[in-house]
Structure 1
Amino acid sequence: MKAIGFKTSLPINDVNSFLEFEMEKPAPKGKDLLVKIAAVSVNPVDYKIRQNSAKDQVLEVPKVIGWDAVGKVEAVGDEVSLFKVGDEVYYAGDINRSGSNAEYQLVDERIVGKKPKKLSNEAAAAMPLTALTAWEIMFDRIRINEKDKGKTILIIGGAGGVGSIAIQIAKKVAGLTVIATASRPETVEWCKAQGADYVFNHKDLINEMHEAGFQSVDFILDFVDINMYWDIVTELIKPQGHIASITGSSDPVALNKLKNKSVSFSWELMYTRSIFQTEDMIEQHHILNTVADLLDNGILKSTLNETLSGFSADHLKKAHQQLENNTTIGKIVIKF
């Protein structure tokens, strides 16, 4: 089967940053599905792993990345109970296994959902990783529930892949008042189209929020850089509020700034359940099925914004370059 990977970490404009090659089609065992892939999308995690996982070394076999896919089940392992051959599925996969930048992929059924019936392959491929991340950060980490309806949430990085669907989930599912950050006219409009009630410029966030009448907010989601915004979010969060971030931190986070307000802080990593094979790993199956129903019912909409037709190294390079330039709005999908 055809796959695209890399043997060493190179700048994306290098001719060898991605290599097309042939590898053996894998066979499913246990809870694995063998999926024939129809479309994939790209995420910032893709380029970060490409840049860092093969530094100062040359791998014998190219590393295949990619963590968003839509496809059809071609074969199943002997312990599979949730799907059958022929089912259309979508998923974000497992960061410790071979990725979706290939014609076929093995994936544990517990982190796979039914593909939304009313969406194209491309529109569906845009959704798994970002929807899982947004859902988990709100409902598993912060544990937003019915009693929180009408409360305020600030989403830093509203026009990105995760921010785009987080706006929708916060507004349409959680019933919150949604404030997003964006700085360009096109990203401001995109955030409003996703359902944001207010959009403020991150470059003057505190002043713009105060001028609009928001002295503080109940919840804050960081999808950009937690240390860059730490002083801002600790000022804007309400006493007994909750801040959550997906971005990680190379420097320690000054949690002492939260003490007087009794504010909670959480990290979110969508891969935690699959990395550690947690007892509740199947929750990602349930979340993806719930999101599929919300998409089919028109409550949520795909964040697809650009489609590249043809599974090739050149298209992967183009998608990675856009993400690295931080100019992407919504999601980029590659159609096989």
Structure 2
Amino acid sequence: MKALAYEKAHALDAFAVNVAEVAEPRLRDGDLLVEVRAIGINPGEAAIRQTRSAEPGGRVILGWEFAGVVAEAGSAATGFAVGDRVLGTGDITRDGCWAERVAVDHRVVAKLPDRLAFTDAASLPIGVLTAGEALFRDQDALPAGVDRVLVIGGAGGVGSMATQLLKATTPAFVIGTASRSESREWATAMGADLVVDHRGDLAGQLHTAGIGHVDLVLSTAGTSGHLGAIVEVLRPFGHLAAVDVTGPLDLGAFTGKSLSLHTEMVFSRITAGGDVAGQGRILARAVDDVVAGRLRPIVTTTLEGLTAETVKAAHALAESGRTIGKTVIQVAG
């Protein structure tokens, strides 16, 4: 089958992802083989392309956000049949979905109704799962006493879904951050009650709005750079959920306020162990919410055809740091 692959880690200006002929995925007992119809693009994949090289003689196939049609089911892949329309993520240690077909654990997949387009569906999985797991860690609920939530990066993929999930399922007052007029408009459209500029004085902007503190901060980007401001605006015994922690953080300031920190990595359930099927349940609930109008897909840019050119264009958008919502590639066929 055809796939988009590369061998050595590289920068965008030396883009080396090309069409390759690769072997069909090998299914495990609990796998589905999915014909890919649309893929979502994520900044994390661009970071992997920049840093991860293939093993000698191998290649890297990226992409862990997709919608498509089940072509085959493993013997232990219950609840699905050939021909089912699905959306899902996958396993970052296995080949991704930049290919005609992808093998994926059925527990991180959910069915799609006919009324939900593949391109819309492909904009949902990573944002829904990352935001949902970061925010609702205590029996699918916010921590006790959380009434005000600040979402740093309110116009991005995770921030867009976080704001929607909070407004659809909780009474929380949601504050989003955005620095440009178009991103501020998008964050407001996602349901944010207030939008502030993360490039400015966060505490001052909140004070001007009559808000002395927030109870929880979801930081989707630039956590290390915003850490001082985050600590300043959090109440004592408040919470920071961060999805972009890749290096050391100076947590000394957390102690004075007895703040809690938890991190989120969307693939940890399947790579490190845990309730893997919980991700399928989160996706299925999100699909129901979209159909009912409680959530909306976040695709803002659609590129046609899974080619080296479209992938490069998508990564250029991802690396710009100015993406609003989600870029999706529609795969021919």
Shorter chain as normaliser: what TM range?
over 0.9
Structure 2 unaligned segments of length 5 or more: list them.
Answer: none
Does 2:295 correspond to 1:296? no
| 1:261-272 aligned within 5 A | 261-272=257-268
* Residues 244-296 of structure 1 deviation map (CA, whole Å, 9 limit, x = unaligned): 1001142x323332223222111111111011232x11100110101110011
Measure, in 1, the Cα distance between the counterparts of 2:49 and 2:171: 38
Say which of 150, 153, 172 aligns to 2:149: 153
Give the equivalent residue in structure 2 for 1:104: 101
Q: For residue 255 of structure 1, what is the amino acid of its counterpart?
A: L
Measure, in 1, the Cα distance between the counterparts of 2:259 and 2:36: 43
Query: Are the aligned partners of 2:149 and 2:218 in contact in 1 as well (CA < 8 Å)?
Result: yes
Q: For residue 225 of structure 1, what is the amino acid of its counterpart?
A: G
Query: Are the aligned partners of 1:142 and 1:266 in contact in 2 as well (CA < 8 Å)?
Result: no
Give the equivalent residue in structure 2 for 1:176: 172
Give the equivalent residue in structure 1 for 2:163: 167
User: Equivalent pairs: percent with the same residue?
Assistant: 35
Q: For residue 262 of structure 1, what is the amino acid of its counterpart?
A: S
Give the match's secondary structure for 1:202. Answer: coil
Say which of 323, 327, 332 aligns to 1:328: 323
* Residues 8-55 of structure 1 deviation map (CA, whole Å, 9 limit, x = unaligned): 1222233x521101112224231000001100011011100000002x
Give the equivalent residue in structure 1 for 2:9: 9
Q: CA RMSD in A?
A: 1.7
Give the match's secondary structure for 1:259. Answer: helix
Query: Are the aligned partners of 1:155 and 1:163 in contact in 2 as well (CA < 8 Å)?
Result: yes
- TM-score in terms of structure 2 length: 0.95
Range 25-34 or range 177-186, more displaced: 25-34
Q: 1:148 to 1:120 in 2, by over 3 A?
A: farther
Structure 1 unaligned segments of length 5 or more: list them.
Answer: none
| 1:37-186 aligned within 5 A | 37-54=36-53, 59-140=56-137, 144-145=141-142, 151-186=147-182
Give the equivalent residue in structure 2 for 1:26: 25
Measure, in 1, the Cα distance between the counterparts of 2:288 and 2:70: 20
Give the equivalent residue in structure 1 for 2:192: 196
Q: 1:29 to 1:89 in 2, by over 3 A?
A: same
Q: 1:244 to 1:116 in 2, by over 3 A?
A: farther
Say which of 309, 312, 327 aligns to 2:304: 309
Quote the offset at 1:117 in angstroms.
4.2
Give the equivalent residue in structure 2 for 1:281: 276
Measure, in 2, the Cα distance between the counterparts of 1:131 and 1:116: 18
- Give the number of aligned pairs: 330
Measure, in 1, the Cα distance between the counterparts of 2:277 and 2:291: 21
Q: 1:25 to 1:249 in 2, by over 3 A?
A: closer
Quote the offset at 1:86 in angstroms.
1.1
Give the equivalent residue in structure 1 for 2:230: 233
Query: Are the aligned partners of 2:11 and 2:49 in contact in 1 as well (CA < 8 Å)?
Result: no
